[in-house]
Amino acid sequence: MDHKPRILVVGSFVMDVIATTERVPASAQTVYGKSFHMAPGGKGANQALQCARLGAQVTMMGCVGDDLFGQALLDTPRQSGVDVSRVLVRPGVTSGVGHVTLEVTEHTAQNRIIVIPGANRTLTVEDVSWIRQEIASYDMVLLQLEVPIEVNRAVARWAKEAGVPVMLNPAPATDLDEELLSLVTYLIPNEQEASVETALPLRSENGVLVEEDLHAIARALWEKGVENVIITLGGQGSAVVSENSIDYIPCVRMPHVADPTAAGDSFVGALAVGLTVGLSRQAALTFASHTAAITVSRMGAMPSLPTLAEVKALLTERGCDVFPLSCLDILQ
C-alpha cells in the first residue's frame, strides 16, 4: 500500500457513566462505590478512534443527540483526526448512554454494561445513502450491532458490490441476520457472541476451550457466507479457525488490569489497520493483541485507546519478532 489506509466506520456513539466498586450489589442490596467518572465511548466510535490513533485515515458515520453528551462524544474523535463531518445530530433525541459497573479487585477488573441506545437507534438507510457513491474509496468498512441491522446490511451490501472488505464485530450478542453474514469478510465475535449467534455450545474443559466446538461454530458461520472467523477469547487471546486447524494468538499480559471496557474495540480497530497496511493475518492479530493490552491497563473507553508510538514501544519491549516494525511506517 502506498497510502495511509482509509477506513469507514458506521456505528454507535455512547457516553459511558462508570461506577467502580469492590463488590457488585446483589438484588435489593446497596453497596458503597469507590469512584465515579464519565468517558466517551460506543463500539463504533471506539473502533474509529483506535484506527485513527494508529495512523489510519478514518471517517465515522453515526448519530448523536442535540445534548451535552452528543457534543462531548464528537469532540474526542475529532481531536484525534477522525472525520465526523457526516455524523448526524438528531434534534429532540438523547445521545446513547452506557451504564457501566466496574468491579475492581486487587488483580483484575470485571465490567457489567447496560447500553441505552438513544440516537444510535434512529439511524436510517436514507441517512447513510451517501456512502454508496463513496464506498469504493475506502480500504475497509467496520460495522457493529449498536445501530439498526438494516443500516449495517445496506452498507455491507454496497461494500461487497465495490469489492471493499467488511469487518463485523457482532456485539452486543444477538441472532444474526443471514444476509448480513453473507456479506462479511471478517467476523470478530468473542466466545459468548460466537455461541449465541450460532446457537451452538462453546464448552471449556480445565480452562481450555473445546476445539471441536470452535470448529462447529466456524463451520456454521462459513455456511452462511462469512469468509474469515476470528474469535476473541479474553485472557486466552484469540483464535483463527481454519478448516483443519486452529491458530491461537496469545493474550499479551500487562502488570495491571484497570478496566476491560473497549478492549474488544481496540483489538478490532488495530486488526483492521494491520490488515489494511498489508500485515499477514498472524502479524495483524499480534499487533491487535498488543494494542488491546495497553487499553485494559487504563480506565475508560476512548481515553484508554493507545497511539501507534505506544503500541510500537510495547512491541519492542516484549521482543516481538512476528513482523518488522518498519511495516508500520506508512502509518506515521
Residues with catalytic annotation?
Answer: 265
Separation of alpha carbons 188 and 21, rounded Å: 30
DSSP β-ladder status, 204-205 and 186-187 = unpaired
Separation of alpha carbons 240 and 147, rounded Å: 27
Separation of alpha carbons 8 and 138, rounded Å: 7
For residues 18 and 37, the answer to whether their CB atoms sit within 8 Å is yes
SS3 of the chain: the string is CCCCCEEEEECCCEEEEEEEECCCCCCCCCCCCCEEEEEEECHHHHHHHHHHHCCCEEEEECEEECCHHHHHHHHHHHHCCCECCCCEEECCCCCEEEEEEEEECCCCEEEEEEEECHHHHHCCCCCCCCHHHHHHHCCEEEECCCCCHHHHHHHHHHHHHHCCCEEECCCCCCCCCHHHHCCCCEECCEHHHHHHHHCCCCCEECCEECHHHHHHHHHHHHHCCCCEEEEECHHHCEEEECCCCEEEECCCCCCCCCCCCCHHHHHHHHHHHHHHCCCCHHHHHHHHHHHHHHHHCCCCCHHHCCCHHHHHHHHHHCCCCCCCHHHHHHHC
